[in-house]
Amino acid sequence: MKKINVGIAEDQEIFRSALGHLLNSFSNVSVIAMAENGKLLIDHDEIDNIDIAIVDYKMPIMGGIEISKVLKKSHPNIKVIILSMFEDEKFVEKAIENGANAYLSKDDDLEELEQAIHSVLENEYYFNDRISKLFIKSMISKGKITPKFIDTELSFTQMEISILDLISKEYTTQEIADQLFRSTRTIDKYRTEMMRKTGTKNSIGLLMYGIKKGLIKP
């Protein structure tokens, strides 16, 4: 598999160094550029070779929002993952509207970051379960995000569509099972198969797929 080349923009040297070390431990990930602000990352000699830029939301000179804006125009193939201590939906929406592909908290675990890296390359965007389902639906219905999926001609069964609909209504697995007179294990099997079909990683990805394809209503 081709190495995923990552660039980091983070003004705190200790955090920047630690993040670079950890990212290099991920499968097929290589950190090829590190900078203390967005301007230095954009001016870096390796900018044309970067696949994903992982950037701090708030930095002197140029922060995550500004980096996203610039890269969207100058290097549209670079995916941007913003790391932040702010989790308010307004911050997330502003980031996505300006070109970011994912928004994670600095408190998230490493598995979440690794999953986001692969997801933005495959599906264009990544959102974890803390991001409101209503927020995701609003962004897709307004055309502010356009996720990509591995197969545009999938056929879903009526049971799968029913499960998607209940996911969109924020039902738990147990509540979906009760509603559809199935076991939780059966619902999990359906969900796993649906994720395999679409190339998504979690229920948020399935929700995004269902809205984009018109299987469920925003």
Predicted confidence (pLDDT) per residue in 86-115, tens digit: 766 778 888 888 889 998 888 888 888 998
pLDDT digits (tens, 9 = 90+) for 38-48: 999 999 999 99
Calpha distance 68→70 (Å, rounded): 6
Q: Output 22-28 pairs: Cβ under 8 A, ≥24 positions apart.
A: 22/110, 23/54, 23/113, 26/114, 26/117, 27/114, 28/1, 28/2, 28/3, 28/4
* Closest alpha carbon to 165 in 185, 193, 137: 137
Integer Rg of the chain from CA: 18
At position 71, the amino acid (one-letter code) is L
Calpha distance 217→92 (Å, rounded): 22
Q: CA angle, 116 as apex, 143 and 153 as ends, to 5°? A: 55
Entry pTM: 0.70
Residues 58 and 99 in one domain: yes
> How many domains does one find in the chain?
2
Residues 157 and 69 in one domain: no
Calpha distance 106→94 (Å, rounded): 18
Provide, rounded to the nearest whole percent, the portion of the chain with pLDDT above 90.
48
Domain final residue, candidates 131, 156, 185:
131
Domain that holds residue 71: 4-131
pLDDT at 16: 94
Question: Higher model confidence: residue 19 or residue 132?
Answer: 19
Residues 151 and 191 in one domain: yes
Token reading at 113: 């970051």
pLDDT at 199: 80
In this predicted structure, the answer to whether residue 132 has a pLDDT above a threshold of 60 is no
Residues 108 and 142 in one domain: no
Domain final residue, candidates 131, 147, 177:
131
In this predicted structure, the answer to whether residue 204 has a pLDDT above a threshold of 80 is no
pLDDT at 171: 86
pLDDT at 133: 57
